Amino acid sequence: MQNQQFESCIEACNDCADACDMCAAACLQEEDVKMMARCIALDIDCAQLCRLAASVMARGGEAASAICQACAEVCDMCAEECGKHQMQHCQACADACRRCAAECRRMGSMSKAQPAGMGAGAH
């Protein structure tokens, strides 16, 4: 992998996206689905943003830091919402979101320390 410094963040993003997908699917099976609407919506948003972040980091895209910052914010929102629900799938999702947010913040601070142009390919 060209961008090994991002490896743990990419893994956290992919794990979080999977946890969010599983949580959303499980929430749709709950007795009171309407009560879970915000959780499901945030799960979907978070999963999509995590996959985008992982993809951009894997390519070494110059927008990785900004996308990871946004990813961390959405992960925080999703973790807060999922953490309100006692179901195991929600608690597992909240944990994955917290780990991903921490990794995205760490990656973002690493990227800012690199000189401009690092990770950008020649055109």
22-35 b/e (C-beta count within 10 Å ≥ 16 → b): bbbebbeebeeeee
Q: What is the mean pLDDT of the chain?
A: 89
Is residue 119 in some structural domain?
A: no
Is residue 103 in some structural domain?
A: yes
Least Cα distance to 108 among 12, 1, 40 occurs for: 12
Domain that holds residue 61: 4-112
- Kindly report the CATH number assigned to the domain that includes residue 27: 1.20.1270.360
Number of domains present in the structure of the chain: 1
Is residue 59 in some structural domain?
A: yes
pLDDT in tens, 8-35: 999 999 999 999 999 999 999 999 999 9
Is residue 122 in some structural domain?
A: no
Say what the pTM is: 0.86
Is residue 54 in some structural domain?
A: yes
**What is the structure's pLDDT at 11?**
97
Least Cα distance to 49 among 99, 100, 112, 113 occurs for: 100
